[in-house]
Amino acid sequence: MDFKEIVDFISKIEFFNDLDTAELKQLSDKMIVQNYNSGIYLFKENKNRQSVFILYAGDVELVKKTPQSEQKRLAYFSMGEIIGEGAFVDDSPHSTSARTVTACTVLTLSKVDIDEVFKQNPALGLKISMRLAKVISKRMRSSNTRFVTLGTQYLSGAMRQEHDLLGEKDVPNEVNYGIQTLRALENFDITGVPLSFYPDLVKAFAMVKKAAALANHELGLLDDDLASAIDDACAAIINGRYHKCFVVDMIQGGAGTSTNMNANEVIANVALQNLGFKRGEYEHCHPNNHVNLSQSTNDAYPTAVKIALVIRNKKLVRYLMDLIAAFRVKANEFAHIIKMGRTQLQDAVPMTLGQAFEAAATTLEEEIERLTQNSNLFLEVNMGATAIGTGINSDPDYTRLVIGHLREVTGLDILGARNLVEATQDTSAFIMYSSALKRLSIKLSKISNDLRLLSSGPRAGFNEINLPAVQPGSSIMPGKVNPVIPEVVNQIAFKVIGNDLTVSLAAEAGQLELNVMEPVIVQSLFESLEMLMNGMETLRSRCIVGITANEQRCKELVMNSIGLVTALVPLLGYEVSTQVAKEALERNCSVYELVLEKNLLTKDELDNFLKPENMLKPRKMIRK
């Protein structure tokens, strides 16, 4: 790329459109053309700003590390967009990382060169600073209204006019959605959580629309160019682009129509650009006539939701398996530590701390099969049902073809429902899966209760284990550390249990050929999934892996426990053992001491019988 090409290119970027030719040349003269392969970081979170990057070709994602050390995508940038523009004003650390998604050509302007140019031309520095202030203001406005994608840096103020059943409305030129999405934004500012918060749901909608376009093309209902443009738009969404265009609130009236139309409009407008047209020129690619061809919200929406839940469940199971593995590590680590088992919070019989942790691992392991079985119910979909299951406005061969394409696009063993009328109104698969999530959450909550009890104290409680100290526990009591991680898992469980009730009530509220309450079912399930995944990872990484045992404390509690007498019943009999327990309580002495004092057993006999290997598993009984 030569100098003239650089000047021509940046002169068309809105950020620089108020610079004169001399100023453009000053900046262009310092720009370096660099090529990057995919997966390369332009800059990293917490590193000082060193350059401004202008994308000439390719795609870049803006990501941020979560508390669970995962990279969460915040925005997507393409040709003509600027990244790291804060370097124009200072060298403060980046709050995010920028990583190439595809091979990229980037114009780079270093902080050193920026300072030199601004020193030579203070007026240019002032112009850039004022422009940057406007960009920040517009980004904040965009964030507050949720109208544009985070990848759209500049709002020109230009509008396009669209129309629907209720009339006409102005839509910002930069956005890829249309009038029906705009109405949904106005009508349903409910949770503040847009569809884009759940990337798997957005991808699943693109998969459904892609499969539909392929089926309609095969039937001759979409020509090659149109089908290809829709296919490419869906593929881009599946690969992670345009997610921030899915702005409709998760809870909405209309049985999911707003969500379906958000997808239709975004795909249509991206397809229009693929075809060389402008957004909103729907005569060439229409959200309803082309993207929604042979479909209804009533089959596209639940099908996409079910695909997304299958995908999300696989991730949930991976988090669950990691948590199980952490419990197993501790079970092995604590296998030799004798502790007192308890029933009804009273002393019972001895066990090992390892057995307690292995029990937690095993009970959670059972949930893998339950979750998988119930998520498999989602593989049966009603695609091809259209409005109520009769298949009106679809070709007789459409259902067979679209199911085949869905299997190919998703890689899942998707099946068409046997009775589409029944499948369109039935929400029982959601009930079953929600119940499995509730069961898992109840187990996690019980385990969290146990961890809180076993770590209670440290001086006035059980104090058998130590949970990692992750934050000070009190604003008034010095030195206090609370079991905050198990506590938050308890609260997650309460929310999941409540969401399960919401799913049950919403499923019951269905009437005749459709259940219009599906959006709240969907929101409840995805919220439960998100909280459980985050909660299990937090429990694993911030609690379980760092637990230590107070071995001496565990042993002392066993030796001083009245429950120890149960292990001696085979030798002494129930009546004698009862008298020993009663006297030990009255005299406030240990069973061990009392048995020796009364010469009921020799020390060797007692020590042999109270060995861990003799107390922790069945053994041959002696007939009395």
Sign of the dihedral defined by the CA atoms of residues 346, 351, 357, 361, in that order: negative
CB contact at 8 A, 23 and 127: yes
State the pLDDT at residue 12: 80
Instruction: Calculate mean pLDDT across residues 88-115.
Output: 88
Instruction: Calculate mean pLDDT across residues 591-602.
Output: 90
State the pLDDT at residue 613: 66
Least confident of 57-71, 491-505, 583-597: 57-71
pLDDT digits (tens, 9 = 90+) for 432-447: 999 999 999 999 999 9
State the pLDDT at residue 146: 42
Other Cβ atoms within 10 Å of 161 Cβ, number = 10
Q: Is the pLDDT of residue 149 over 60?
A: no
Q: How confident is the model at residue 145 (pLDDT cuts 50, 70, 90)?
A: very low
Residue 54 buriedness (CB in 10 A; 0-12 / 13-18 / 19+): buried
pLDDT digits (tens, 9 = 90+) for 278-299: 999 999 999 999 999 999 999 9
Q: How confident is the model at residue 135 (pLDDT cuts 50, 70, 90)?
A: low
**Helical (H) or strand (E) element with 615:** helix 612-615
Residue 102's nearest CA partner among 61, 144, 159, 154 is 61
Residue 285: HSE in the Cβ half-sphere, 13 Å Cα cutoff: 31
3-state helix, strand, coil in the chain (%, to 5): 55, 15, 30
Q: Which two tokens stand for residue 137?
A: 């203001």
Q: Is the pLDDT of residue 66 over 80?
A: no
Q: Which two tokens stand for residue 478?
A: 């010095």
Burial 297-333 (b: 16+ CB within 10 A, else e): bbbbbbbbbbbbbbbbbeebbebbeebbebbbebbee
Least confident of 80-84, 310-314, 380-384, 535-539: 80-84
Q: Are strands 60-65 and 32-36 parallel, antiparallel or unpaired?
A: unpaired
Q: Is the pLDDT of residue 336 over 80?
A: yes
Instruction: Calculate mean pLDDT across residues 300-325.
Output: 97
State the pLDDT at residue 237: 95
Q: How confident is the model at residue 144 (pLDDT cuts 50, 70, 90)?
A: very low
State the pLDDT at residue 154: 43
Instruction: Calculate mean pLDDT across residues 442-470.
Output: 95
State the pLDDT at residue 616: 75
Q: Is the pLDDT of residue 218 over 80?
A: yes
Instruction: Calculate mean pLDDT across residues 196-203.
Output: 95
Angle at CA of residue 611, ends 610 and 617, nearest 5°: 90
User: What percent of the chain has a predicted confidence (pLDDT) above 90?
Assistant: 65
Instruction: Calculate mean pLDDT across residues 28-50.
Output: 90
Separation of alpha carbons 323 and 326, rounded Å:
5
State the pLDDT at residue 142: 46
Separation of alpha carbons 134 and 138, rounded Å:
6
Q: How confident is the model at residue 623 (pLDDT cuts 50, 70, 90)?
A: low
More confident residue, 168 or 612: 168
More confident residue, 184 or 477: 184
Least confident of 46-60, 64-78, 279-293: 64-78
State the pLDDT at residue 40: 93
Q: How confident is the model at residue 612 (pLDDT cuts 50, 70, 90)?
A: low
Q: How confident is the model at residue 26 (pLDDT cuts 50, 70, 90)?
A: confident
Residues that are catalytic = 474
State the pLDDT at residue 74: 79
**Helical (H) or strand (E) element with 71:** strand 71-77
Q: Is the pLDDT of residue 139 over 60?
A: no
Q: What is the mean pLDDT of the chain?
A: 90
CB contact at 8 A, 303 and 211: no
DSSP 521-537: HHHHHHHHHHHHHHHHH
State the pLDDT at residue 265: 98
Q: Is the pLDDT of residue 600 over 60?
A: yes
State the pLDDT at residue 318: 96
Q: Please identify which residue in the block is written with the tokens 């699943």.
A: 204
State the pLDDT at residue 569: 87
